[in-house]
Amino acid sequence: MMRLRCTVPLPKKLLNIGACPTNKEFISTAAKLLKNDEFETDPHNPLRRSLNIITRDFKPIKDYFKTIPKSTDEVPDKNLKKRIDPTESEFQTHCDVVIIGGGCIGLSIAFWLKEKARSGLNVVVIEKDPTYRKSSAARSYNGLNFNFLVPENLQMAMYGADFLRDIKHHLGSVNLNFTPFGSIRLASEKNVEVLKSIFKIQNELGVRSELLTVEKIKSKFPWINTDDIVLGCHGLESEGWFDPLALLFAYKKKAAEYEAHFVDGELIDFEFQSQSNILVDGEEGETYKALDKAIVQMPNGEKRTIKFALCVIAGGSCSGQIARLARIGNAPGFLSIPLPLEQREIQKYLFNSPGQEVPAFTTPLTLDPNGCYFTREGLSGNYLCGKNTDTPTEQTNKTLQETFDAEILPSLTQRVRSFKNAQIKESWTETYAYNYFDGNGIIGAHPYYNNLYIAAGFNRHGIQQSPAVGRALSELIIDGRYRTIDLARLSFDRFIVNQPLYEVSTI
Ligand SMILES: Cc1cc2nc3c(=O)[nH]c(=O)nc-3n(C[C@H](O)[C@H](O)[C@H](O)COP(=O)(O)OP(=O)(O)OC[C@H]3O[C@@H](n4cnc5c(N)ncnc54)[C@H](O)[C@@H]3O)c2cc1C
């Protein structure tokens, strides 16, 4: 037990309480004695002043150990609501880190920053759609799979799998509804080398998967037509579906417990501050203008500003737009290079195919060499499917039914004969953030601004990567370097040196 030395002369009564009292004994005994003491009301009394100082210094230490609940369920709702519900929490006019975009990436960053720094950092998340009706997370397939060629992507997916397995420890009790499914990626003669490379990197990094010859595919999955197939890669652990909104709100709840702040509003502009003591490389006479304040439009139309030390752009497919507000892509020098993000569309179909020989309970996520994929949805003959293309969205007059009939159904029936009577139950189009430079996420500091970080462009795997991305960015901000997974190759710098990092087309 730590002991404090009292340097003020103590009244006689207090000196009689015994040798070396603990701080707690000292404070409570002194408080009792003071109650009746003639100096109780004198603010200049040295004993009173010392007690005030001790009490004040001990409060944050006591609070630190007392207020971290073990699980999100244990949080008294009233206090938590105050911090999650911006209408009830105090608007922060100043903060250390402002995060623009409260999707799964922005919220994971907020969670990790607060997890590491606690009250040492004031973190504010600005989100324009707190209902998440339009967010990618609410509409995504929510899958976790290991079909990657770039080691960083695979490491992030593996970290995501570990995080989800251990979610109670990180975020408290969360019902993710995780459904394990495994995956099988099929290769024809044309893309067999890519499949072998995926298998190689998986095994080098410790993912359990196996290569299946045609005979083995036939015996394990008799419903797969292997006519044009030469090899398969079968994932054996950790892959599956889960509820992305449950993860998103769990990040938010935990970050709120750690006293992150949330603002319902849209970032509409930045304010800059000229810093003449910083020279801009290659720009004669140009004054460096640091990002200084976020201008936020509140739901009632009011405009408010938040002064920040650091800013993180995590606005999903709107990140390119947000970056332009920070002059990225429309100013000279480093700022002339835009954030290469665009919104792309993808069609999703839920179809029904009843029958005896259809793929049943043990159906893995099945990825065809031509980009089509399907997976089981529930137990009543329903399947989700779509087609991955990493080509820009084309304007087409075709209806979803026409696209299904022309492109998806032929591929499905080629792979699984018994799907020939498949009927669409639902179909819809979704958008996602695509990095048109190389299709990969963009993570890290911006090379021009000394107070701007980016975490965007995660294509169709941002949810499974969110635990790793949040952690990595918190390391970069707090420790100045990556500690868990080195994501330096995914930084903005690759656009400057023109070094793309291509990934295979994944679901
Ligand atoms: C069809 C489809 C299937 C997918 N399948 C998977 C999958 O199986 N597995 C997987 O891991 N991922 C999948 N994804 C991808 C995943 O959904 C995204 O990568 C992920 O949600 C991206 O998270 P984010 O936080 O970067 O962006 P978002 O979820 O888009 O969040 C960004 C947030 O920023 C807010 N915002 C934007 N601009 C502003 C502003 N100016 N001011 C304030 N707030 C702003 C937005 O409202 C939004 O909530 C899929 C996506 C799609 C479309």
Higher pLDDT, 103 or 70: 103
Report residue 111: phi and psi, to 5°.
Answer: -60, -50
Residue 443 lies in a domain: yes
Contact 303, 358 (CB under 8 A): no
| DSSP classification of residue 396 | -
Average pLDDT over the chain reads 85
Maximal CA-CA distance, the chain:
98
- Are residues 442 and 333 both part of a single domain? yes
pLDDT per residue over 275-311, tens digit each? 888 877 766 667 899 999 999 999 999 999 999 999 9
Q: Determine the distance separating the centroid of ligand 1 and the alpha carbon of 132, expressed in angstroms.
A: 10
pLDDT of residue 26: 40
pLDDT per residue over 104-119, tens digit each? 999 999 999 999 999 9
Residue 63 lies in a domain: no
Q: Measured from the CA of 101, which atom of ligand 1 is nearest?
A: 34
Into how many domains does the chain fold? 2
Q: Which of 426, 460, 507 to mutate to test the pocket of ligand 1 (most atoms within 8 A of CB)?
A: 460
pLDDT per residue over 386-398, tens digit each? 988 766 666 677 8
Q: Determine the distance separating the centroid of ligand 1 and the alpha carbon of 459, expressed in angstroms.
A: 9
Q: Measured from the CA of 105, which atom of ligand 1 is nearest?
A: 25
Residue count (the chain): 507
Contact 305, 295 (CB under 8 A): yes
Report residue 105: phi and psi, to 5°.
Answer: -70, -50
Residue 184 bridge partners (DSSP): 234, 366
- Are residues 24 and 106 both part of a single domain? no
Element (H, E) at 58: helix 46-66
Element (H, E) at 434: strand 423-435
pLDDT of residue 438: 94
Q: Determine the distance separating the centroid of ligand 1 and the alpha carbon of 102, expressed in angstroms.
A: 9
Q: Which of 136, 239, 308 to mutate to test the pocket of ligand 1 (most atoms within 8 A of CB)?
A: 136
Residue 170 lies in a domain: no
Residue 359 lies in a domain: no
Q: What dihedral angle (degrees, nearest 10) is formed by the CA atoms of 198, 201, 203, 207?
A: -80
Residue 70 lies in a domain: no
CATH number at residue 452: 3.50.50.60
C-alpha distance across the termini of the chain, in Å: 56
Whether the predicted pLDDT of 65 surpasses 50: no
Tokens 């635990």 — which residue?
Answer: 467
Count of CB atoms situated within 10 Å of the CB of 430: 16
What the block records as the tokens of 405 is: 């009939």
Look at residue 159 and give its three-state secondary structure.
Answer: helix
Residue 303 lies in a domain: yes
Residue 94 lies in a domain: yes
Residue 491 lies in a domain: yes
- Are residues 253 and 325 both part of a single domain? yes
- Are residues 21 and 131 both part of a single domain? no
Ligand 1 binding pocket (C-beta < 6 A) is 100-106, 126-129, 135-137, 139-143, 266-267, 314-318, 322, 346, 348, 430, 432, 456, 458, 460-464, 507
Q: What dihedral angle (degrees, nearest 10) is formed by the CA atoms of 489, 491, 497, 501?
A: 50
Task: Tell me the pLDDT band of 372, cut-offs 50, 70 and 90.
Answer: very high
Quick one: which of 506, 402, 424, 421 has its CA closest to 458? 506
Residue 179 bridge partners (DSSP): 241
Contact 229, 190 (CB under 8 A): no
Q: Report the percentage of the chain scoring pLDDT > 70.
A: 79
Domain interval for residue 116: 82-135+246-340+438-496
- Are residues 252 and 329 both part of a single domain? yes
Q: Determine the distance separating the centroid of ligand 1 and the alpha carbon of 432, expressed in angstroms.
A: 7
